Protein backbone atom coordinates (compact mmCIF):
# COMPACT_ATOMS: atom_id res chain seq x y z
CA UNK A 1 0.00 0.00 0.00
CA UNK A 2 1.37 3.44 -0.96
CA UNK A 3 1.10 5.88 1.93
CA UNK A 4 2.63 8.87 0.18
CA UNK A 5 3.56 10.36 -3.18
CA UNK A 6 6.28 12.55 -1.58
CA UNK A 7 8.82 11.24 0.93
CA UNK A 8 10.45 14.59 1.74
CA UNK A 9 7.78 17.33 1.94
CA UNK A 10 10.37 19.99 2.85
CA UNK A 11 11.54 19.86 -0.78
CA UNK A 12 8.27 21.59 -1.70
CA UNK A 13 7.06 23.48 1.38
CA UNK A 14 9.04 24.84 4.30
CA UNK A 15 8.66 27.38 7.09
CA UNK A 16 11.69 29.57 7.69
CA UNK A 17 11.92 31.75 10.80
CA UNK A 18 14.36 34.65 11.02
CA UNK A 19 15.09 37.69 13.16
CA UNK A 20 15.61 41.03 11.44
CA UNK A 21 18.92 42.87 11.58
CA UNK A 22 18.10 46.05 9.64
CA UNK A 23 20.56 45.25 6.85
CA UNK A 24 20.04 45.99 3.16
CA UNK A 25 19.96 43.04 0.75
CA UNK A 26 20.10 40.43 3.47
CA UNK A 27 20.05 36.82 2.27
CA UNK A 28 17.68 34.52 4.17
CA UNK A 29 18.88 30.95 3.63
CA UNK A 30 17.84 27.53 4.87
CA UNK A 31 14.54 27.19 3.02
CA UNK A 32 15.99 24.18 1.21
CA UNK A 33 14.91 25.21 -2.30
CA UNK A 34 14.30 28.30 -4.42
CA UNK A 35 10.74 29.29 -3.50
CA UNK A 36 8.20 30.55 -6.01
CA UNK A 37 5.70 31.77 -3.42
CA UNK A 38 6.89 33.32 -0.15
CA UNK A 39 4.46 34.61 2.49
CA UNK A 40 6.04 36.66 5.29
CA UNK A 41 4.54 37.94 8.56
CA UNK A 42 6.28 39.73 11.41
CA UNK A 43 5.68 37.74 14.57
CA UNK A 44 6.62 40.37 17.12
CA UNK A 45 5.03 43.45 15.55
CA UNK A 46 1.77 44.71 14.09
CA UNK A 47 2.62 44.78 10.38
CA UNK A 48 0.97 43.62 7.18
CA UNK A 49 1.40 40.18 5.67
CA UNK A 50 3.46 40.22 2.46
CA UNK A 51 3.06 37.70 -0.37
CA UNK A 52 5.57 37.53 -3.20
CA UNK A 53 5.67 35.12 -6.12
CA UNK A 54 8.03 34.48 -9.00
CA UNK A 55 5.32 34.84 -11.66
CA UNK A 56 4.43 38.45 -10.80
CA UNK A 57 8.06 39.26 -9.96
CA UNK A 58 9.93 39.33 -6.67
CA UNK A 59 9.36 43.05 -6.05
CA UNK A 60 5.56 42.84 -6.43
CA UNK A 61 3.76 42.64 -3.09
CA UNK A 62 0.24 41.60 -2.15
CA UNK A 63 -1.09 41.63 1.41
CA UNK A 64 -3.49 38.97 2.69
CA UNK A 65 -4.91 41.15 5.46
CA UNK A 66 -6.14 43.94 3.16
CA UNK A 67 -7.80 44.20 -0.24
CA UNK A 68 -5.17 46.58 -1.65
CA UNK A 69 -4.01 46.30 -5.23
CA UNK A 70 -0.53 45.00 -5.97
CA UNK A 71 2.34 47.32 -5.04
CA UNK A 72 5.87 47.59 -6.41
CA UNK A 73 8.30 47.60 -3.49
CA UNK A 74 11.98 47.24 -2.66
CA UNK A 75 11.30 44.97 0.29
CA UNK A 76 11.96 41.68 -1.47
CA UNK A 77 14.38 41.99 -4.38
CA UNK A 78 14.93 38.33 -5.23
CA UNK A 79 14.14 34.66 -4.84
CA UNK A 80 17.41 32.78 -4.29
CA UNK A 81 18.61 29.19 -4.62
CA UNK A 82 18.11 28.43 -0.91
CA UNK A 83 15.68 31.18 0.13
CA UNK A 84 15.20 34.87 -0.61
CA UNK A 85 16.58 38.36 -0.04
CA UNK A 86 14.99 41.06 2.12
CA UNK A 87 15.84 44.70 2.68
CA UNK A 88 16.27 46.81 5.79
CA UNK A 89 14.20 48.85 8.17
CA UNK A 90 12.97 51.49 5.74
CA UNK A 91 11.72 49.08 3.09
CA UNK A 92 8.55 47.38 4.23
CA UNK A 93 9.04 45.85 7.67
CA UNK A 94 10.61 42.61 6.43
CA UNK A 95 13.98 43.05 8.14
CA UNK A 96 13.49 45.43 11.06
CA UNK A 97 16.27 45.05 13.61
CA UNK A 98 15.34 42.47 16.31
CA UNK A 99 11.91 41.87 14.77
CA UNK A 100 11.01 38.17 14.62
CA UNK A 101 9.47 36.92 11.39
CA UNK A 102 7.86 33.80 9.94
CA UNK A 103 8.03 32.94 6.25
CA UNK A 104 6.06 30.18 4.55
CA UNK A 105 7.53 29.00 1.26
CA UNK A 106 6.18 26.89 -1.61
CA UNK A 107 8.02 25.57 -4.67
CA UNK A 108 6.52 25.61 -8.17
CA UNK A 109 9.37 26.07 -10.62
CA UNK A 110 8.27 24.87 -14.08
CA UNK A 111 7.06 27.69 -16.31
CA UNK A 112 4.01 27.31 -18.54
CA UNK A 113 2.14 29.49 -21.02
CA UNK A 114 -1.16 28.89 -22.74
CA UNK A 115 -2.46 30.58 -25.87
CA UNK A 116 -6.08 29.55 -25.42
CA UNK A 117 -7.07 30.11 -29.05
CA UNK A 118 -4.11 28.06 -30.25
CA UNK A 119 -4.29 25.14 -27.83
CA UNK A 120 -8.05 24.96 -27.41
CA UNK A 121 -7.54 24.78 -23.64
CA UNK A 122 -9.59 27.43 -21.89
CA UNK A 123 -10.82 30.71 -23.33
CA UNK A 124 -8.42 33.16 -21.63
CA UNK A 125 -4.64 33.08 -22.13
CA UNK A 126 -2.66 32.26 -19.00
CA UNK A 127 0.93 31.84 -17.87
CA UNK A 128 2.59 30.77 -14.68
CA UNK A 129 4.70 28.28 -12.78
CA UNK A 130 3.71 24.77 -11.71
CA UNK A 131 4.93 21.81 -9.70
CA UNK A 132 3.01 18.69 -10.68
CA UNK A 133 4.50 16.54 -7.92
CA UNK A 134 3.44 18.99 -5.21
CA UNK A 135 0.08 19.85 -6.76
CA UNK A 136 0.73 23.59 -6.82
CA UNK A 137 0.55 26.23 -9.53
CA UNK A 138 0.73 30.01 -9.77
CA UNK A 139 -1.41 31.24 -12.64
CA UNK A 140 -1.49 34.77 -14.09
CA UNK A 141 -4.20 35.98 -16.46
CA UNK A 142 -6.04 39.08 -17.67
CA UNK A 143 -9.81 39.23 -17.27
CA UNK A 144 -12.18 39.15 -20.23
CA UNK A 145 -15.37 40.42 -18.58
CA UNK A 146 -17.41 37.42 -19.70
CA UNK A 147 -17.76 33.80 -18.60
CA UNK A 148 -14.46 32.06 -19.28
CA UNK A 149 -12.17 29.16 -18.49
CA UNK A 150 -8.48 29.44 -17.64
CA UNK A 151 -5.71 26.85 -17.84
CA UNK A 152 -4.26 26.44 -14.34
CA UNK A 153 -1.18 24.42 -15.33
CA UNK A 154 -1.80 21.34 -13.18
CA UNK A 155 -2.52 17.92 -14.65
CA UNK A 156 -5.13 17.25 -11.97
CA UNK A 157 -8.07 19.30 -10.77
CA UNK A 158 -7.14 21.78 -8.03
CA UNK A 159 -9.15 21.39 -4.84
CA UNK A 160 -8.54 24.95 -3.59
CA UNK A 161 -7.96 28.23 -5.44
CA UNK A 162 -7.09 31.69 -4.11
CA UNK A 163 -7.49 34.60 -6.56
CA UNK A 164 -6.51 38.26 -6.19
CA UNK A 165 -7.26 41.19 -8.49
CA UNK A 166 -3.83 42.80 -8.89
CA UNK A 167 -5.12 46.10 -10.30
CA UNK A 168 -7.92 46.98 -7.91
CA UNK A 169 -8.62 47.08 -4.18
CA UNK A 170 -10.91 44.06 -4.06
CA UNK A 171 -11.05 41.18 -1.55
CA UNK A 172 -9.07 37.99 -1.95
CA UNK A 173 -11.37 35.25 -3.25
CA UNK A 174 -11.03 31.70 -1.90
CA UNK A 175 -12.95 28.57 -2.79
CA UNK A 176 -12.42 24.85 -2.40
CA UNK A 177 -14.23 21.57 -2.63
CA UNK A 178 -14.53 21.89 1.16
CA UNK A 179 -17.18 24.61 0.71
CA UNK A 180 -18.03 23.97 -2.94
CA UNK A 181 -17.13 26.18 -5.89
CA UNK A 182 -20.60 27.70 -5.70
CA UNK A 183 -19.42 29.37 -2.46
CA UNK A 184 -16.54 31.68 -1.60
CA UNK A 185 -14.68 33.01 1.40
CA UNK A 186 -12.58 36.19 1.51
CA UNK A 187 -9.04 35.74 2.77
CA UNK A 188 -8.72 39.29 4.08
CA UNK A 189 -12.03 39.18 5.98
CA UNK A 190 -13.67 37.32 8.85
CA UNK A 191 -16.99 37.12 6.99
CA UNK A 192 -18.97 33.91 6.55
CA UNK A 193 -18.97 31.91 3.33
CA UNK A 194 -21.14 33.34 0.59
CA UNK A 195 -23.27 31.56 -1.97
CA UNK A 196 -21.98 33.01 -5.21
CA UNK A 197 -22.51 31.99 -8.84
CA UNK A 198 -20.05 34.45 -10.41
CA UNK A 199 -16.60 34.11 -8.90
CA UNK A 200 -16.06 30.55 -10.16
CA UNK A 201 -19.22 30.29 -12.27
CA UNK A 202 -20.68 27.60 -9.96
CA UNK A 203 -18.24 25.17 -11.57
CA UNK A 204 -15.59 22.96 -10.00
CA UNK A 205 -12.18 23.02 -11.71
CA UNK A 206 -11.27 20.27 -14.15
CA UNK A 207 -7.90 18.62 -14.79
CA UNK A 208 -7.03 21.49 -17.13
CA UNK A 209 -9.05 24.65 -16.35
CA UNK A 210 -10.94 26.61 -13.74
CA UNK A 211 -14.00 28.71 -14.48
CA UNK A 212 -14.89 32.35 -13.85
CA UNK A 213 -17.77 34.66 -14.71
CA UNK A 214 -18.00 38.42 -15.29
CA UNK A 215 -17.08 40.02 -11.97
CA UNK A 216 -14.39 42.36 -10.66
CA UNK A 217 -13.06 39.85 -8.11
CA UNK A 218 -11.92 37.18 -10.58
CA UNK A 219 -12.63 38.35 -14.16
CA UNK A 220 -13.10 42.06 -14.85
CA UNK A 221 -12.28 43.07 -18.42
CA UNK A 222 -8.64 44.15 -18.74
CA UNK A 223 -7.71 43.60 -15.09
CA UNK A 224 -4.71 41.45 -14.15
CA UNK A 225 -5.18 38.53 -11.74
CA UNK A 226 -3.06 36.00 -9.90
CA UNK A 227 -4.41 32.60 -8.87
CA UNK A 228 -2.78 30.16 -6.45
CA UNK A 229 -4.06 26.66 -7.24
CA UNK A 230 -3.62 23.65 -4.95
CA UNK A 231 -4.39 19.95 -5.34
CA UNK A 232 -4.45 17.23 -2.69
CA UNK A 233 -1.29 15.09 -2.76
CA UNK A 234 -1.18 11.89 -0.72
CA UNK A 235 1.18 12.19 2.24
CA UNK A 236 1.97 15.85 1.47
CA UNK A 237 -1.08 18.12 1.27
CA UNK A 238 -4.77 18.25 2.03
CA UNK A 239 -6.16 21.54 0.82
CA UNK A 240 -9.85 20.74 0.63
CA UNK A 241 -10.41 19.54 4.19
CA UNK A 242 -13.38 20.28 6.42
CA UNK A 243 -14.61 19.30 9.88
CA UNK A 244 -17.29 20.21 12.41
CA UNK A 245 -16.37 21.57 15.83
CA UNK A 246 -17.64 20.06 19.08
CA UNK A 247 -17.18 23.05 21.42
CA UNK A 248 -15.18 20.90 23.83
CA UNK A 249 -11.66 21.37 25.20
CA UNK A 250 -11.04 17.85 23.92
CA UNK A 251 -11.88 18.73 20.35
CA UNK A 252 -12.06 16.70 17.15
CA UNK A 253 -9.12 14.80 15.70
CA UNK A 254 -8.56 15.73 12.06
CA UNK A 255 -6.94 12.97 10.02
CA UNK A 256 -4.48 14.03 7.33
CA UNK A 257 -2.36 10.98 6.60
CA UNK A 258 0.75 13.02 7.47
CA UNK A 259 2.41 14.99 10.25
CA UNK A 260 1.55 18.63 9.54
CA UNK A 261 4.06 21.40 8.99
CA UNK A 262 1.50 24.13 8.30
CA UNK A 263 -2.25 24.53 8.59
CA UNK A 264 -4.65 27.34 7.74
CA UNK A 265 -8.13 27.06 9.30
CA UNK A 266 -11.26 29.18 8.75
CA UNK A 267 -14.66 29.12 10.43
CA UNK A 268 -17.14 29.06 7.52
CA UNK A 269 -19.27 31.35 9.65
CA UNK A 270 -17.71 34.52 11.08
CA UNK A 271 -14.11 34.05 12.19
CA UNK A 272 -10.48 34.66 11.31
CA UNK A 273 -8.04 32.62 9.21
CA UNK A 274 -5.66 30.93 11.68
CA UNK A 275 -2.11 30.19 10.45
CA UNK A 276 0.07 27.71 12.38
CA UNK A 277 3.32 25.92 11.65
CA UNK A 278 5.72 23.39 13.13
CA UNK A 279 8.64 25.80 13.64
CA UNK A 280 7.31 28.45 16.02
CA UNK A 281 6.27 25.86 18.60
CA UNK A 282 8.24 22.63 18.37
CA UNK A 283 6.25 20.71 20.97
CA UNK A 284 2.61 20.13 21.95
CA UNK A 285 0.54 22.06 23.10
CA UNK A 286 0.98 24.27 20.01
CA UNK A 287 -0.39 27.77 20.57
CA UNK A 288 1.57 30.20 18.36
CA UNK A 289 -0.52 31.58 15.51
CA UNK A 290 -1.19 34.53 13.25
CA UNK A 291 -4.32 35.45 11.36
CA UNK A 292 -4.10 35.83 7.58
CA UNK A 293 -6.78 38.54 7.73
CA UNK A 294 -5.07 40.60 10.46
CA UNK A 295 -1.89 42.65 10.86
CA UNK A 296 -1.77 41.77 14.57
CA UNK A 297 1.38 40.35 16.10
CA UNK A 298 1.61 36.64 16.82
CA UNK A 299 -0.79 35.29 19.44
CA UNK A 300 -0.51 32.34 21.80
CA UNK A 301 -3.99 30.88 22.16
CA UNK A 302 -6.40 28.15 21.00
CA UNK A 303 -3.98 25.26 21.60
CA UNK A 304 -3.81 22.22 19.34
CA UNK A 305 -1.58 19.15 19.00
CA UNK A 306 0.30 18.29 15.80
CA UNK A 307 0.31 14.49 15.55
CA UNK A 308 2.05 11.96 13.31
CA UNK A 309 -1.03 11.61 11.08
CA UNK A 310 -3.09 14.76 11.66
CA UNK A 311 -3.94 17.17 14.43
CA UNK A 312 -6.11 17.34 17.55
CA UNK A 313 -7.98 20.39 18.80
CA UNK A 314 -7.38 21.13 22.48
CA UNK A 315 -9.68 24.13 22.93
CA UNK A 316 -13.29 25.25 22.56
CA UNK A 317 -12.55 28.53 20.75
CA UNK A 318 -14.89 29.83 18.09
CA UNK A 319 -12.18 30.33 15.50
CA UNK A 320 -11.49 26.60 15.29
CA UNK A 321 -13.87 24.56 17.48
CA UNK A 322 -17.30 26.06 18.09
CA UNK A 323 -19.95 23.41 18.64
CA UNK A 324 -21.72 22.39 15.44
CA UNK A 325 -19.79 24.88 13.31
CA UNK A 326 -18.20 23.88 10.00
CA UNK A 327 -14.54 24.68 9.31
CA UNK A 328 -12.34 24.39 6.24
CA UNK A 329 -8.57 24.00 6.21
CA UNK A 330 -5.46 23.68 4.08
CA UNK A 331 -2.57 21.58 5.41
CA UNK A 332 0.97 20.74 4.25
CA UNK A 333 3.23 18.01 5.62
CA UNK A 334 6.37 17.86 7.66
CA UNK A 335 6.51 14.08 7.13
CA UNK A 336 4.16 11.51 5.60
CA UNK A 337 2.61 9.16 8.17
CA UNK A 338 4.63 6.37 6.52
CA UNK A 339 7.17 6.93 3.77
CA UNK A 340 7.18 4.92 0.54
CA UNK A 341 9.91 2.75 2.06
CA UNK A 342 7.90 2.04 5.22
CA UNK A 343 9.49 4.55 7.63
CA UNK A 344 6.83 5.89 10.04
CA UNK A 345 6.57 9.51 11.21
CA UNK A 346 7.39 10.19 14.84
CA UNK A 347 5.17 12.17 17.20
CA UNK A 348 6.21 15.56 18.55
Q: Tens digits of per-residue pLDDT, 261-280? A: 999 999 999 999 999 999 99
pLDDT, mean of residues 63-71 = 97
pLDDT, mean of residues 73-93 = 89
Check: CB of residue 268 under 8 Å from CB of residue 176: no
Half-sphere exposure of 221 (CA within 13 A, CB side): 2
Fold of domain 110-230: Immunoglobulin-like (2.60.40)
- Residue spans of the domains in the chain: they are 9-106, 110-230, 237-336
pLDDT, mean of residues 87-112 = 91
With bands split at pLDDT 50, 70 and 90, how would you rate the model's confidence at 94? very high
Q: Which has the minimum average pLDDT: 61-75, 80-94, 199-213, 316-330?
A: 80-94
Residue 1, pLDDT score: 46
pLDDT, mean of residues 315-327 = 95
Residue 91, pLDDT score: 63
Query: Which residue, among 148, 157, 153, has the nearest Cα to 175 in the 3D structure?
Result: 157
With bands split at pLDDT 50, 70 and 90, how would you rate the model's confidence at 183? very high
**What integer best gives the mean pLDDT of the chain?**
95
Whether the predicted pLDDT of 346 surpasses 90: no
Check: CB of residue 136 under 8 Å from CB of residue 106: yes
Residues 6+ apart with CB under 8 A from 294: 65, 272
Whether the predicted pLDDT of 4 surpasses 70: yes
Residue 148, pLDDT score: 98
Residue 341, pLDDT score: 73
pLDDT, one tens digit per residue, over 129-145 is 999 999 999 999 999 99
- Other C-beta atoms closer than 10 Å to the C-beta of 228 total 25
Whether the predicted pLDDT of 2 surpasses 80: no
Whether the predicted pLDDT of 63 surpasses 90: yes
Amino acid sequence: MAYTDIDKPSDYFNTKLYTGNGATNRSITGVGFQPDLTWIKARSDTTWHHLFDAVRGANKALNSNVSNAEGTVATFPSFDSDGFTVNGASSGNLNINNQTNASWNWKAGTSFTNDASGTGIGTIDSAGSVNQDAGFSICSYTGSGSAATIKHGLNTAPKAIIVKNRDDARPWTFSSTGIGFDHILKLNETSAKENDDEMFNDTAPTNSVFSVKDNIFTNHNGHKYIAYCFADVKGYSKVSGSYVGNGNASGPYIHLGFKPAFIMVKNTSTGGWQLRDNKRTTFNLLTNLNYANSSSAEQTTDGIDFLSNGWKLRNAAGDNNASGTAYIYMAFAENPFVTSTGVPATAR
